[in-house]
Structure 1
Amino acid sequence: MKGPLAWRWHGGKLKPINFVQAVELDDLIDIDRQKAALVQNTLQFVEGKPANHVLLTGARGTGKSSIVKALLNHFASQGLRLVEVPVHDLIDLPDIVAPLRGKKERFVLYVDDFSVSANDSALTALKTALDGGIEDPPDNVLIYATSNRRHLMPETKKDNLEYHWMDDELHPGESTEEKISLSERFGLWLSFHSFNQEQYLNLVRLHLRKLGINSIDEEGEKLALRWALNRASRSGRVANQFARDWAGRQ
């Protein structure tokens, strides 16, 4: 396979990423529903069929970013390529997309940890890309964005005060409507939830196996749970951190 599989937009240029993180779909457990939906959408995309822009939202460390990287490894042989775009460089979207148009490869623009204020110019650029401006969008480019925020922008106390009753129904105010309208521009919207205790321990076991350790005793599990408690998070990221620490001590 010739050429890089991924690029990063930096300093007004597409720069190749020569060492792509090797994440496999089988490494991602307890998110089967989200994985199946995203694999199907991406399969349609690489086959040249209609597919949707994707928004992945939810708790931190639950696999949102990892699944996008895993898709690249899974579909690279079918022509999928990844372009990492920092949030505030979204204003450069026309320049980013221009050299990709017409190529035989299929490009996912990967926007990680999206969160902007309501008056950010990046917000306008993303809306234009998703909903279409004057320029016809290329059919070989999609946007996959991740965010810890459900509506991509901070929720404020003022937003709640704007809710009002109309004909016995509760309606959001203009600020909330604006935030919801951005989320709705993504055709596929997948939510990721925090892991429970058993799911977290399953992730610990998975990461340990990848490090060459096939089992963990009861005392090790207690340490894993204490590790998560100290970080106030039972996420895949925390499970991986514990596994590396525990494996290194053995």
Structure 2
Amino acid sequence: MEPDRTLAYRWRNGTLQPIEFPQPVRLDQLLGIDRQKAILVQNTRQFVEGRPANHALLTGSRGTGKSSVVKALLNEFGEQGLRLIEVPGHQLTDLPDIVAPLRERRERFVLYVDDFSVQANDPALTALKTALDGGIEEPPDNVLIYATSNRRHLMPEFQSENDEYRWHGDELHPGESSEEKISLSERFGLWLSFQPFSQQQYLDAVHLHLARLGVDSLDEDGIKAALRWALARASRSGRVAQQFARDWAGRRG
């Protein structure tokens, strides 16, 4: 079966829809996450080369590059057969239908679940657990799941769960609710955490995005404006840096 030249798809209304213009994100455009990039790139390289690789969960602060690094993998490995399929979290119950036609393909498919969060009684929870651990059917070796989430354990955590913790001798053990949440995230073999940017990392990202927009430098007033921009949004991240760069470059033509 000849490989499909389409690099990315989205699952919508029960079908795989080709994405004609995938975002042209490159790994060298993502600053402050070198360790996370290196680990995910190595895992993905193993995958596209037909070697064992793990499902990956990317968690942490908003705007720090979790989604961007997954998208950038297409530019790194697309020519080697990597394909990306965007699957909305609420449609994970369709995973068997998504995966079935991919099994015999020559390409290597990453199912990309962005900003995933699930309630304890959500059917998507069971579907994801089955896909990660495998049910009766042997999972295809050309499909991985890469999920991003702002929640460390993918599900909401409540104060009442602290009452379930119990001491066993000198050890503190979580209750059933916490165990269920931990068990879900632990089904991902690769777990990468993304931390908030330092002030210097944020400014480095601002300079990078300005350079891409044709602005070679940022004077002292510009640096102060960039810091005020981040302060107003209570966030220093790559996303906020990109938004400031667009505003700054746009105002100056």
Shorter-normalised TM range: over 0.9
Q: Please tell me whether residue 175 in structure 1 is matched to residue 207 in structure 2.
A: no
The 1:164/1:62 distance shift into structure 2, 3 A limit, reads same
The separation in 2 between residues aligned to 1:74 and 1:137, in whole angstroms, is: 25
Q: How far apart are 1:169 and its partner, in Å?
A: 1.1
- Secondary structure at 1:138 match in 2: coil
Deviation at 1:104, TM superposition (A): 0.5
CA apart distance, 1:18: 0.4
Cα shift at 1:3: 2.8
Residue 12 in structure 1 maps to residue 14 in structure 2:
yes
For each residue in 1:194-225, what CA deviation from the matched residue of structure 2 results, as whole angstroms up to 9, or x when unmatched? 00111100000000000011110011000000
Q: Which of 144, 147, 156 is residue 146 of structure 2 equivalent to?
A: 144
**Aligned-residue offset at 1:158:** 1.5
Superposed CA RMSD in Å reads: 0.9
Aligned pairs (5 A) from 1:24-39: 24-39=26-41
Q: Does 1:217 align with 2:219?
A: yes
Match of residue 102, structure 1, among 101, 104, 116 = 104
1:27-60, Cα deviation, whole Å (9 max, x unpaired):
0111111000000000000000000000000000
Partner of 1:241: 243
Distance 1:2 1:187 in 2: 28
The one-letter code of the counterpart of 2:240 is V
Q: How does 1:161-200 map to 2 (within 5 A)?
A: 161-200=163-202
Alignment partner, residue 61 of structure 2: 59
Determine the structure 2 residue equivalent to 1:82. 84
SS in 2 for 1:152: coil
Q: Deviations over 1:110-166 (max 9, x none)?
A: 000010101100000000000010000000000000000000000111211111111
In the alignment, does 2:157 pair up with 1:155? yes
Instruction: Return the alpha-carbon distance in structure 2 between the equivalents of residues 162 and 219 of structure 1.
Output: 53
> What is the CA–CA distance in structure 2 between the aligned matches of 1:20 and 1:195, rounded to whole Å?
26
Sequence identity, in percent?
75
TM-score (norm 2): 0.98
Normalized against structure 1, the TM-score is what? Answer: 0.99
Give the whole-Å Cα distance in 1 for the aligned partners of 2:100 and 2:140.
Answer: 9
Q: Distance in 1 between matches of 2:183 and 2:149?
A: 15
* Distance in 1 separating the partners of 2:27 and 2:140: 27
Corresponding residue SS for 1:98: helix
Which amino acid letter does the alignment assign opposite residue 110 of structure 1?
Answer: Y
**Within 1, Cα distance between the matches of 2:63 and 2:80?**
28
The runs of 4+ residues in structure 1 deviating greater than 3 Å are none
Q: How many residues align?
A: 250
Q: Identify unmatched segments of 5+ residues in structure 1.
A: none
CA-to-aligned-CA distance 1:73-125 (integer Å, 9 cap, x gap) = 11000000000000010000000001111110000000000101011000000
Q: Distance in 2 between matches of 1:169 and 1:182?
A: 22
Shift of 1:2: 5.6
- Among 204, 214, 227, which residue is 2:229 paired with? 227
